[in-house]
């Protein structure tokens, strides 16, 4: 079967996490992704958080599947010429260098357009145009400046960052969408364009509901579904909502059997309005279904704390999986808090290719997250990440370089 992006060639000038997330997705959809790394060193993550001496780290291998690796010194004049040849041959250049780094290499937007007017140049930066546009940014900085940290955590504690890499991987996802959209538009315009995904913007996009709540707060002074209501006070900005659910269906994390010893023996429980009567039956509070203090969503809002305490009395008598099974019978939305160990061992995730075992010549077998986006006509086969410079000769030959020229470029340190 063919692949959705099989005619697309990507010059992958990315490193660390945000850019590589994007190009890995494009590779999974069939694009030929040629990762350009610094001669002799490579992507810094190859040796970060290493668990096996001398082997590429899981950090690197899990973000660079299905790519080819070439090493080119972009600051060497002859290395620059190789890059120019690549720019002429590729459809997209993806980069997430610090602001200005690509220009300092001599590859300004104008120069790239001169070399290849059809080229799409896609960048991840920390910020868009404005006072911070020159700043370097990492994941947690993006979470802080994008509104995630100020709205995450409990009201009586400090801001908290989340384990989901919404700044890096989240922005990589945004960039990938921008790239395929630009490729689509190029079909009619014949022109390339610049695609920018700023990490602050990407995080803010994922925090959209919190900007909604900011405006509701300014208008009404109170948000009835937040745990601060009715006893706490609201300030000028959206407060941290603990484990409250983001929408109009109140939810909370509740203890399950074994919580004293198991840090993940919890379940997320949503008191969805249409199944309120069923919830009352399951937890043995049948009278709440008709009691005017509990019967309607609006009446329940001031009592959410008591309601969840009562539901928790029930969930604590069941394991999280038992509770899930019982609640699902009644269509009550809930979800066990799964540990990474449980997720890694979950057979259904292996079956769908969401968790994949990959073999690597140096590190051996390891688990990775496969393509989370499934296309029926473009199936993904996850192949291992490349060794540093593994495909330099192959790609140079495709660019038309003779073996003697390749040997010369190696001697002068251009590749
Ligand atoms: N040949 C020669 N030089 C190369 C090269 C190559 N193949 N690849 C990279 N370099 C050079 C760059 O040209 C740059 O040189 P100058 O500083 O002289 O311009 C230098 O390597 C360092 O690049 P950098 O500034 O991007 O890297 P850093 O480690 O200092 O910063 C990061 C890393 C992530 C903070 C920065 O790249 C950044 O802000 N990127 C944009 C936002 C982003 O993607 N952040 C998420 C990262 S994932 O957590």
pLDDT tens, residue by residue, 203-219: 999 999 999 999 999 99
Q: How many helices (H) and strands (E) does the chain have?
A: 17, 11
Nearest residue CA, atom 6 of ligand 1?
38
Structure confidence at residue 100 (pLDDT): 95
Q: What is the DSSP letter of 309?
A: H
Alpha carbon distance 11, 336 (integer Å):
41
pTM of the shown model = 0.96
Backbone φ and ψ of 100, nearest 5°: 90, -15
pLDDT tens, residue by residue, 322-331: 999 999 999 9
Structure confidence at residue 248 (pLDDT): 78
pLDDT tens, residue by residue, 151-204: 999 999 999 999 999 999 999 999 999 999 999 999 999 999 999 999 999 999
| Residue 18 assigned as binding residue | yes
Contact (Cβ atoms closer than 8 angstroms) between residue 219 and residue 213: no
Which H or E run includes 399?
none
CA 101–ligand 1 middle distance (angstroms): 7
Report helix, strand or coil for 357.
Answer: strand
Structure confidence at residue 250 (pLDDT): 93
pLDDT band at 271 (very low <50, low <70, confident <90, very high): very high
User: Is ligand 1 within 6 A of the CB of residue 96?
Assistant: yes
Pocket test for ligand 1, best of 43, 45, 48, 101 (most atoms within 8 A of CB): 101
Q: Which of 213, 211, 186, 193 is nearest to 201 (CA)?
A: 211
Q: Which residues pair with 195 in a beta bridge?
A: 122
User: Is ligand 1 within 6 A of the CB of residue 170?
Assistant: no
pLDDT tens, residue by residue, 10-38: 999 999 999 999 999 999 999 999 999 99
Q: Count Cα neighbours of 169 within 13 Å in the Cβ-side half-sphere.
A: 14
Given 168, 291, 331, 377, the catalytic residue: 168
| Residue 30 assigned as binding residue | no
Atom of ligand 1 nearest to the CA of 37: 7
pLDDT tens, residue by residue, 283-303: 999 999 999 999 999 999 989
Q: Which residues pair with 367 in a beta bridge?
A: 357
Alpha carbon distance 111, 109 (integer Å):
6
Alpha carbon distance 241, 297 (integer Å):
19
pLDDT tens, residue by residue, 65-121: 999 999 999 999 999 999 999 999 999 999 999 999 999 999 999 999 999 999 999
Q: Is 168 a catalytic site residue?
A: yes
Distances (CA, A) of 369 to 36, 56, 62, 122, 376: 23, 17, 7, 24, 19
Pocket test for ligand 1, best of 49, 73, 98 (most atoms within 8 A of CB): 98
User: Is ligand 1 within 6 A of the CB of residue 14?
Assistant: no
- Angle value at C-alpha 144, between 217 and 246, nearest 5 degrees: 40
User: Is ligand 1 within 6 A of the CB of residue 18?
Assistant: yes
Distance separating the N- and C-terminal Cα atoms of the chain: 35
Alpha carbon distance 225, 304 (integer Å):
8
User: Is ligand 1 within 6 A of the CB of residue 168?
Assistant: yes
pLDDT tens, residue by residue, 356-366: 999 999 999 99
CA 155–ligand 1 middle distance (angstroms): 37
pLDDT band at 229 (very low <50, low <70, confident <90, very high): confident
E-only strand ranges, 184-245: 194-198
| Residue 251 assigned as binding residue | no
Alpha carbon distance 226, 83 (integer Å):
54
Check whether 233 has a pLDDT greater than 90: no
């Amino acid at each position: 079967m063919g692949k959705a992006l099989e005619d697309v060639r990507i010059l992958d000038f990315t490193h660390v996490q945000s850019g590589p997330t994007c190009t890995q997705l494009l590779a999974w959809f069939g694009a030929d992704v040629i990762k350009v790394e610094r001669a002799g060193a490579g992507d810094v993550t190859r040796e970060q958080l290493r668990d096996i001496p001398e082997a590429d780290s899981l950090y690197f291998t899990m973000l660079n599947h299905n790519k080819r690796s070439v090493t080119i010194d972009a600051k060497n004049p002859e290395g620059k010429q190789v890059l120019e040849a690549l720019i002429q041959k590729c459809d997209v250049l993806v980069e997430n260098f610090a602001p200005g780094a690509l220009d300092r290499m001599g590859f300004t937007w104008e120069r790239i357009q001169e070399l290849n007017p059809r080229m799409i140049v896609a960048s991840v930066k920390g910020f868009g145009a404005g006072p911070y546009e020159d700043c370097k940014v990492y994941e947690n900085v993006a979470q802080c400046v994008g509104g995630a940290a100020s709205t995450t955590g409990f009201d009586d504690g400090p801001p908290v960052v989340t384990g989901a890499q919404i700044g890096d991987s989240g922005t990589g996802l945004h960039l990938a969408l921008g790239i395929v959209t630009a490729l689509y538009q190029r079909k009619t315009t014949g022109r390339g364009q610049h695609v920018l995904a700023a990490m602050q913007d990407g995080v803010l996009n994922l925090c959209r509901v919190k900007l909604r709540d900011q405006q509701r707060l300014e208008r009404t002074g109170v948000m009835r579904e937040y745990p601060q209501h009715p006893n706490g006070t609201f300030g000028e900005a959206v407060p941290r909502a603990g484990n409250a659910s983001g929408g109009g269906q109140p939810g909370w994390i509740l203890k399950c059997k074994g919580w004293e010893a198991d840090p993940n023996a919890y379940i997320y429980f949503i008191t969805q309005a249409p199944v309120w009567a069923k919830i009352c039956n399951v937890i043995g509070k049948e009278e709440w279904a008709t009691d005017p203090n509990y019967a309607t969503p609006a009446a329940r809002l001031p009592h959410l704390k008591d309601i969840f305490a009562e539901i928790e009395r029930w969930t604590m008598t069941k394991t999280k999986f038992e509770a899930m099974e019982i609640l699902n019978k009644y269509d009550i939305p809930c979800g066990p808090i799964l540990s990474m160990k449980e997720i890694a061992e979950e057979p259904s995730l292996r079956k769908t290719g969401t968790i994949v075992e990959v073999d690597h010549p140096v590190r051996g077998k390891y688990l990775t997250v496969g393509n989370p986006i499934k296309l029926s006509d473009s199936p993904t086969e996850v192949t291992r990440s490349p060794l540093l410079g593994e495909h330099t000769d192959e790609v140079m030959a495709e660019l038309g370089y003779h073996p003697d020229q390749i040997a010369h470029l190696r001697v002068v340190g251009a590749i």
